[in-house]
Structures are given as structure tokens and as C-alpha cells.
Amino acid sequence: MERAPTSPRPLPRGPHGLERDVVLASQRGRMLSAMAEAVAANTYGGTTVADVVAGAGVSRKTFYEHFRDKEECFLAAFDTGVDLLFEAIVQAQPPEGDPTWIGLARVRARAYLETLAREPAFARTFLIEVFAAGPRALERRADVLRRFARLFEDLHDDARRQFPSLPPVPDAIYVAAVGAINELVSDFAREGRAAELPALEDTLLYLQVALFAGRDTAADLGLAQIGAQPWRRAEDAS
């Protein structure tokens, strides 16, 4: 699978005997990484094809062999990063001693936050700069939010199988959970604080439990005490 957020190793210069598909995959991966880095540094509007080819170490001709224009490259970088993010989330599994839905919710929240924290350029591209990339990018973003809502719906279905007393919730609640989490995480990306995102783990878990199982359940689990409110801006906390 292509990897946009992590910069691939450049190919050696000169004859190297690599198969053409390996060369093409390396070139494409480097351009996707370069796009994410350039957009995070310069904004989408301020990024040019020249920035991407310089960051990837390829020629302009090579760029246009892979992509029609800047927008197509951006969308490919966005899609690849999203796929890697979802892969990290769905592969996250709770410890053997914690098979409950809450344990699964926690490790998924952790995987989401840690993945974004490791890839600050992608985090900014995914959360902030996508708004500037045009209607096609906004359609992609809407689809991603729907995918997150479906993950929450599946999680709640698991919870109700374990705890039949839990009430059903309207579809709008899943959308609300996605919106709340996205806005909270976006604040960190906007302020250049992606590295601090793992501190939001308890907050994200509290939001999910409170919305899907009720505030009393969240309080019983001790999640209402979510520490020093790590989402607050430093100047607000002073």
C-alpha cells in the first residue's frame, strides 16, 4: 500500500535495475508525501507543483505522468492517508483481559490520535487544508466522516449485544460524535499541537460513552474526571 505521510526512501541515482512498477510506486509515494508536507507548510493555495516535485526529488514530467494536476495529487495523498488512518483504527485491539466495547473504543481512540500525532503534516492536511482544496476534496471529507460514523454505529451495536439494557441511539448521535471529535482534534492541528493529541484519549472516550451509553455510565467509569482539560489553549490555562 502506498504511504503518503511517511517519506519513502529515494531511489538510487543512475541505473539501478529496479522493475518499472517499483520505480513508479516509489515516485508516487514520494510525491504524495511531498504534497502533504508542502500543504502543511504553505497551505493548499500556496502550494505549487514545483513545491511537490522539489520535495519528492522528481521531474515535472514525472509528476504529470502520475497526476493530471495539483488537485489530483492532493486527493490521492488525502485518500492514501485516510486509508492508513482507518487501517490503524480497525486493527487496534484491546488487551486480552479487556474484551468489552469500552476497551475497544479506547484502543481505537488511541490509534486515531497516535497516528495523527506521528504524522503532523498529514494531520493538518486531513483536518484543515482539505477545506481549501475544492468541492471534490469536500466530498471526500464528507465520505470520511460517514465512515467514522459507521464505525461508531458498529461499536454501539457491539455494546448493545454485551449490555442489552443500553438504549438505541438515533443516527444523528453518531454524526454528532464524529463532529465533536473532529472539531476538538482540528483545534490541535490548527495550533500546531499535533504531537499533543494522545492527551485527548480520555476525552474522546468520554464523549463516546456519554453519547452512546449515557453520562451516568461515563461517570461510573471515572471518565467524567478527564484531567486538566488538555484541549484548552495554553494562554487560556494560564
Answer yes or no: do 46 and 106 share one domain.
no
Do 34 and 126 sit in the same domain of this protein? Answer: no
pLDDT at 115: 96
Alpha carbon distance 2, 64 (integer Å): 18
- In this structure, the answer to whether residues 64 and 160 fall within a common structural domain is no
Range of the domain at 26: 20-69
Report if residue 35 sits inside a domain: yes
User: What average pLDDT score do residues 105-118 get?
Assistant: 95
pLDDT at 12: 43
For residues 85-111, average pLDDT: 88
Quote the CA–CA distance of 102 and 158 in Å, as a whole number. 10
The grid cell for 233 is 489553549
pLDDT digits (tens, 9 = 90+) for 92-102: 988 876 677 88
- For 137-151, 163-177, 217-231, which range has the lowest pLDDT when averaged over its residues? 217-231
> Residue 5: is its pLDDT beyond 60?
no
| Cβ pair 168, 153 in contact under 8 A | no
Judge whether 86 lies within some domain: no
Nearest CA to 33 out of 6, 63, 66 is that of 6
Most confident range (mean pLDDT) of 2-11, 41-50, 156-165 is: 41-50
The CATH number of the domain holding residue 34 is: 1.10.10.60
